[in-house]
Structure 1
Amino acid sequence: MTGRPNDGDRVYYFGQALFKDKVFDGDVVAMGRALAQRYGGLDGRVLVGHHGGQVSNLSDPAAAAALADLARSARDGRDLVVVLLTSHGLPGEIAVRHPGMKHHTSLTASDLRQLLRPLENDRHVVILQACYSGSLIPALQSPNRIILTAARADRTSFGCAPGSNNTWFIRSLVEELQQGGSWQDVYLRTRSRVQGYERRKGIGIHENSQPQASVGGRMQGLWAGAGGPG
């Protein structure tokens, strides 16, 4: 399903590259394009990265304020906000390293809950592209939230080399969003596509990333393709 089945539904996008490598900027831009194609345009977007072009280099507090602004623009229970955070990761955290930083810091589950708090009354999809990102799902589950992660709690994700255009998970998700279908359809096809990349690269079943999903109780209609944008 593509387009906006309910008249008046609006779609907003916030994407942030939390690490300095260009591949993460590429993820942010590619996801914005795919969502705009899927929904026939976006009603608001904020693209945060580090290498110019289509992304803005915002401080972390300014980026969080921009996300809160999008949340205020979205009408509770009617509109959709899609959030992408892309970086490296460790169990229970997403790495943060901007140009000029000597060492990385991190966002913990508690930090992410705080970042996402303005969206609690909005329907929203949170996409976490990072190694071990599935470890963050239990702490972030919420009735109005779909969570998609690049990897299982105990697995790495792939394709995050600095010279890559996109990580494998985001490349797969973008390609499947462009093919249409419900968010559930897109997720299942994305998992299959990622597994194909990994298999061709010789990554076995004991190492593959195994992307994960969590669907809040109020998001079942959107997940299955009914009840709003999607």
Structure 2
Amino acid sequence: MRRSLLSLTALLALLPVSAAQQQQPYAPPQHTAPPPPGVARSTPLEVVQQADGGTQIERDRPAAHALAEHRRLAKALATLAPQRKGVVDAYVLSVALDSDPVFGREAREAAKVLTRRYDAAGRTITLAGTDGAGPSALPMGSPQNVEAVLGRIAEQMNPAEDVLVLYTTSHGAPFGIVYNDGNEGWGAISPNRLARLLNESGIHRRLLIVSACYSGVFVPVLSGPQTAIVSAASSDRSSFGCIAENDWTFFGDALINRALRKPQPLGQAMTEAVALIDGWEKQGNLKPSLPQQSVGVEVQAWLTPLEARMPKAATQPVGRPSVDSLKDLQR
């Protein structure tokens, strides 16, 4: 009997493996379907109104997806530590609102850099789709999840003492930053919507970093005495590097992956990042993106103690430099 089983095992090992049995490489979500009819047929004014409302549309999602997403978000929210009395604590939220892997990779690494820089261990949440290697174990970067996390941060922080550090990366449009998860999720967050969410939550001390085309639309609306806001482009310009295969956008690479890894003030980091981006754009003969920034008159009250706790040593950039994508375009 034993000899028969061994013979059968050897015979099965010689049989060809079917295509279904072979492990297929992971394919990230693709944007191949048109937007839902209610989105596609909207007028420009209606699109702005939808973005101002924080519109999110999901379709063809199985019930198992909704349950799994609920569990992922609940787990992330439960990890958020309360603030420390007498300490200016930073709460970091890093969000990839589009499922193209470049944004997932950028949001993950941005969370690490910002957490280290601003002493936010235990007070950081990342919302992002795939990094290209496989399905994401993180809660998705969607308008509704952003709202839930901001609500939880508001519960845990002391608004008179603590700071929100928000990093968002995605494709952008003149009406705001776009949410697009493969063929299943659509939506947007406008400057008015984000301002309303933060104001209603009582989150007034904030460092907002928006990486997207046209992201300068957020600057005048979100600026305020206690707000520092930085955008990847002016309100009428594109930013660059958002190719799905990239590890970084130009802006994310320059500001997060390089300038903010160094123990230098935010203003100096922005100056360095803008110079890097300008050089890369000239190298590619690209129309300048013109990153924007606004720093409120009361920002130093919370930024100075945060930067006083910055690590004294820089860390090395990771991933493929975003400027390398210019070589691919020139082939």
How far the C-alpha of 1:78 sits from its partner, in A, is: 2.3
The 2-side partners of 1:44 and 1:216 are apart by: 24
User: Structure 2 length as normaliser, TM-score?
Assistant: 0.60
Per-residue deviation, residues 175-202 of structure 1 (Å, max 9, x unmatched): 1111121111111111111112212222
Offset, 1:29: 0.9
Read off the aligned partner of 2:280 and give its amino acid letter. Y
User: 1:185 aligned to 2:274?
Assistant: no
Contact 1:88 1:94 in 2 (8 A): yes
Distance 1:109 1:140 in 2: 7
Give the AA of the match of 2:159: D
Task: Pick from 207, 222, 246 the counterpart of residue 164 of structure 1.
Answer: 246
Q: How many residues align?
A: 218
Counterpart amino acid of residue 106 in structure 2: D
2:140 and 2:188 map into 1 onto residues whose CA distance is 18
* 2:108 corresponding residue in structure 1: 29
Counterpart Cα distance in 2 of 1:81 and 1:54: 24
The alpha-carbon distance between structure 1 residues 138 and 210, as it changes in their structure 2 partners (threshold 3 A), is same
CA contact (8 A) 1:183 1:222 kept: no
1:180 alignment partner, SS class? coil
Q: Highest CA radius of gyration, 1 or 2?
A: 2
How far is 1:117 from its partner?
2.7
Higher strand share: 1
The 2-side partners of 1:11 and 1:109 are apart by 22
- CA deviation map 1:21-56 (0-9, x unaligned): 111111211111111232345241111111245632
Could you tell me which amino acid in structure 2 is paired with residue 17 of structure 1? A
Unaligned runs of 5+ in 1: 1-6
2:42 equivalent in structure 1? none
CA distance change for structure 1 residues 146 and 22 in 2, over 3 Å: closer, same or farther?
A: same
Aligned-partner SS, 2:148: helix
Q: Please, which of 149, 166, 178 is the counterpart of residue 66 of structure 1?
A: 149
SS in structure 1 at match of 2:93? strand
Tell me the TM-score normalized by structure 1: 0.85
* Residue pair 1:131, 1:155 contacting (<8 A) in 2 also: yes
Bigger mean CA offset, 207-216 vs 108-117: 108-117
Letter in 2 for 1:124: R
Superposed CA RMSD in Å reads 2.3
Q: Which moved more, 1:107-116 or 1:52-61?
A: 52-61
**Higher relative contact order, chain-length normalized (CA < 8 Å, sep 6+):** 1
User: Is 1:229 the counterpart of 2:309 in the alignment?
Assistant: no
Report the Cα offset of residue 79 of structure 1. Answer: 2.1
SS at the partner of 2:299? helix
1:229 partner SS = helix
After superposition, the Cα gap between the structure-2 partners of 1:54 and 1:165, relative to the gap in structure 1 and judged at 3 Å, is farther
| Structure 1 position 58, deviation (Å) | 5.9
Identical residues among aligned pairs (%): 26
**Which consecutive residues of structure 2, in runs of 5 or more, have no partner in the other structure?**
1-85, 308-331
* Partner Cα distance (1:192, 1:136) in 2: 22
